Amino acid sequence: MESRTLTGHLLTPMFSYGENQKFPEFRATELKGMMRYLYRIACPAKLSVLKQDEAELFGGSTGDRKEQAGHASPVQLFLMQARQERFEAESLLLHDEKRQRSIFNCILQDEFKLRISMDKRISIQNELLSKIADIDWYKKEAALALLLCGMGKRSRKGRGRVMPDEYQQKDKAQALAWICDGLNKIAKATSEELKPEEKKYEIRDGTIYPYVQKKGRNSGNRDLKRPAIKKIVLGECLSEWKESASRSGGKKSLDVFLKAVDTECHYLRGKQKYEFLKDGQILKLSKAIGQIDGKERFASSLIIGFIQTDEGIYPVYTFVKAFPNLKEELDADCSLREQFIEMVEKYRI
């Protein structure tokens, strides 16, 4: 069995729980789920092919018919258990006054270790996928999932992020290039016959875009009617988010940023500070960032992650296609989510 080790450190508190909701824990199944999710939104294949390829790469049935047998996952993950701490997470549920000052158990540690093993007895049947998805492919995919997707509660709002030490880059430009390179490796892992340029991500004007670009458009020319990455942008370096006793209570700049995200979600929920938007736009933005709409809840199509460089920590904004009604894409030009980011980054002082 071939293995690799991924060592890193937590950037933000991880609120990940198993059966016992009082005690946090690292869960390999959750990380595997995040790797699957990243593969789905990064791969350019059509849905029918995507399902088959995902089953080949991560285990499961290769089709919907009962007689079609699947196979176990060729990759196994083992997460080192971290020490448990108590953390006053008042920013987690800012809108819930009853729980605003609750104490949540979370995982806070300096070191994070992940062992990735590939069982060669479980072979990937597709010849093309087997040539691409080796042990190093899974290691890079896991590293990207930890950075872009995270683990645990409110992971789409920046919690549960891990920075793999060996992948720390020098500056913002190198960090963006590293993310783009990783996405290109994921995009190539498909059995669908596509043009080479259709399995490619590229950096234009400091932003990562998928596939071939049409002039004057900010999305790829493959009309995928499913959640898929539209673009990835790095925000301002958090070293510029200076500490202030009046605003952050002496907390580090990363905590100030997380509080800013939660505060803006709170204001949007109450339609405060967003009077410049029409009611219909407020509703669309609320859906786009995962706010509750009546009895319905939508997963945020703006995923906030972080990457550490020698310069400091940068927010990573991943814009994902969203189809709440399976017909019309929500915030297709990303303008509403961009306005939300602008409101968050105004907290920089």
- Give the number of other CB atoms < 10 A from CB of residue 27: 16
Which residues have CB under 8 Å from 150's CB, separation 6+? 12, 14, 34, 156, 158, 159, 160, 161, 162, 305
Identify whether the C-beta of residue 237 lies closer than 8 Å to the C-beta of residue 314: yes
pLDDT at 17: 85
In order along the chain (349 residues), what is the average pLDDT of each group of 10 residues? 90 85 82 95 92 90 51 84 56 52 69 86 78 92 96 91 94 97 94 83 94 50 80 90 45 82 82 73 83 66 95 95 80 92 83
Instruction: Identify the CA nearest to 59 among candidates 112, 166, 133.
Output: 133
CA distance 223 to 18: 38
Cα dihedral 167/169/173/174 (nearest 10):
-60
Q: Residues 107, 82: contact at Cβ < 8 Å?
A: yes
pLDDT at 249: 39
Torsion of CA 79, 83, 84, 88, to 10 degrees: -110
Q: What pLDDT, on the 0 to 100 scale, is given for residue 349?
A: 58
Give the largest CA-CA distance in the chain: 64
Overall pTM surpassing 0.95 (yes/no): no
Contact 139, 75 (CB under 8 A): no
